[in-house]
Amino acid sequence: MSKYWSRLAQNLEPYVPGEQPQDKKYIKLNTNENPYPPSNKVIDAIKLVTDDKLSLYPDPNGSELKEALANYYNLDKDQVFLGNGSDEVLAFSFMAFFDSSESIIFPDITYSFYTVYANIFKINYELVPLNEDFTLPIKELYKKNGGVIFPNPNAPTGNCIPLEDIEKVLIKNINRVVIVDEAYIDFGGDSAVALVDKYPNLLVIQTFSKSRSLAGLRVGYALGNKDLIEGLNRVKNSVNSYTLDRLALKGAIAAINDENYFQETRNKIMDTRKRITSELIKIGFNVIDSKSNFLFINHSSIKAVDIFMKLRERAILVRYFKMPRIDNYLRVTIGNDKEMDIFIREVCKIVYENN
């Protein structure tokens, strides 16, 4: 700790992202990236952003991308907010809608950035423990609170809440903001975007990082009532006018306009997920029902940390969380079929070596 740090910096407990090795040695199944490249149309659009354009600032409002998203979701342009990845949209949302007056609530076993944001913005929070089977006890979200946030599908468990339950949470919390973090919604869950016009307290956050293969471009967005979007704009414009660069804006527009490629790659991932789920069950794994691009798994006779280490030795990275309740589970991103064949082959060997 440095004497030059502010008290704020001294007291932070930053989020630690999954390992991002910069060489190509590993089969990377640890940070839920898409195994397929972005659409060719994205690459072409980015190439068209010429040198002279890069000397000029981008559109601070990202109007063209907002319009493309509004058309895609059948909403108005002023119901769309853009950010540098959904992490930034989440951070701005914590600032815009939650404060220290009343505790916000979110699940215990969820995306670990939520506690980090709550801490930096001095927002009190109360955790709602997941049920034994990792489902969310919906009624716990009805209690008095200063706001609600949860991912759907949840991370790192991958399971989903039906829309009717989300609707109940929205009705019970009509005077507070309910944020549904839909980073993984395109892999089989029902999106709450359908409820945006009905509930003024609903903010849905999505990303181009997963189903659109653009984790490297950093584009996230929120959809909601225009009052909520205006609140987000106030916060964003008090921090940074230009959160999305020219390449990101053009690339994201091309991605949203290539529906065929999007459908093709997400369907491939869902098919692979189905196949890998049954292969894992055959060799004794318990697999939580997933509507995301990853599986949350455990094995009754081998410790998760041992499987994690053994896979690592074989150049396969998966995610291990050294945390209460889930330290015997692994989160495995769905890679392409070739990667997953190698994963299954190696995990089979690990299981048989253990017997």
* Contact between 346 and ligand PMP per CB under 6 A: no
Q: Using an 8 Å Cβ cutoff, are 108 and 128 in contact?
A: yes
Which residues, 173 to 202, sit near ligand PMP by CB under 6 A? 181, 183
Closer residue to ligand PMP, CB minimum distance, 180 or 350: 180
Cα separation, 90 vs 98, in Å, equals: 11
155, 166, 216 from 93: Cα distances, Å: 19, 19, 22
Q: Of the ranges 56-64, 185-193, 207-215, 303-311, which one interacts with ligand PMP (CB under 6 A)?
A: 207-215
State the minimum distance, in angstroms, from the CB of residue 92 to ligand PMP: 12
* Contact between 33 and ligand PMP per CB under 6 A: no
Long-range contacts of 109-114 (CB under 8 A, 24+ apart): 109/134, 109/154, 109/156, 109/157, 109/323, 109/325, 109/326, 110/150, 110/151, 110/154, 110/155, 111/151, 111/155, 111/181, 111/183, 112/15, 113/15, 113/87, 114/90, 114/149
* Contact between 207 and ligand PMP per CB under 6 A: yes
Q: Of the ranges 43-51, 80-88, 159-167, 265-273, which one interacts with ligand PMP (CB under 6 A)?
A: 80-88
* Contact between 215 and ligand PMP per CB under 6 A: yes
Phi, psi of 96 (to 5 degrees): -80, -30
* Closest residue to ligand PMP using C-beta atoms: 85
- Spell out the residues 6+ positions from residue 335 whose beta carbon is closer than 8 angstroms to its own: 27, 28, 29, 35, 272, 343
State the minimum distance, in angstroms, from the CB of residue 248 to ligand PMP: 12
* Contact between 151 and ligand PMP per CB under 6 A: yes
State the minimum distance, in angstroms, from the CB of residue 85 to ligand PMP: 3
* Contact between 209 and ligand PMP per CB under 6 A: yes
Q: Which residues bind ligand PMP (CB under 6 A)?
A: 85-87, 111, 151, 155, 181, 183, 207, 209, 215, 220
